[in-house]
Amino acid sequence: MNRLPTDDLELRAADQRRQLQISINELRDRIQEKLDVKKGIRHHVLLASGFAAAISLVLGYGVSGIFLQR
C-alpha cells in the first residue's frame, strides 16, 4: 500500500486551509461590494431619485387628504 508520510499530508492540509481562507476572503469582499447601498445608489441615481419622488408624492397626497377630508 502506498502511504504518504504524515509531514507531506500536514503540508497539503495547511496549503488547502490557506487556499480555502483566500477563497472565503474573496467571497466576503465580493458580497460586501454587492451589498454596498451607497455604491448601488451612485450607479442608479435616476432610479433612486424617481423612487424617492414617487414616495414623497404619495405620502404628500395621503397627509393632505387626512387634513382636508372632502
**Domain limits for position 49:** 44-70
What is the helix, strand, coil percentage profile of the chain, to 5?
85, 0, 15
Are residue 31 and residue 60 in the same domain, yes or no?
A: no
Higher-confidence residue of 4 and 11: namely 11
The answer to whether residues 38 and 31 touch, using CB atoms and an 8 Å cutoff, is: no
Give pLDDT, residue 70.
59
Q: Total structural domains in the chain?
A: 2
Residue 1 clears pLDDT 60, i.e. is over it: no
Residue 2 clears pLDDT 70, i.e. is over it: no
Are residue 49 and residue 67 in the same domain, yes or no?
A: yes
Are residue 50 and residue 70 in the same domain, yes or no?
A: yes
Higher-confidence residue of 69 and 41: namely 41
Q: Cell digits for 30?
A: 465580493
Give pLDDT, residue 23.
97
Give pLDDT, residue 13.
94
The answer to whether residues 43 and 37 touch, using CB atoms and an 8 Å cutoff, is: no
User: Can you give the pTM of this predicted structure?
Assistant: 0.53
- In angstroms, the Cα distances linking 36 to 10, 17, 23, 27, 30 are 39, 28, 20, 14, 10
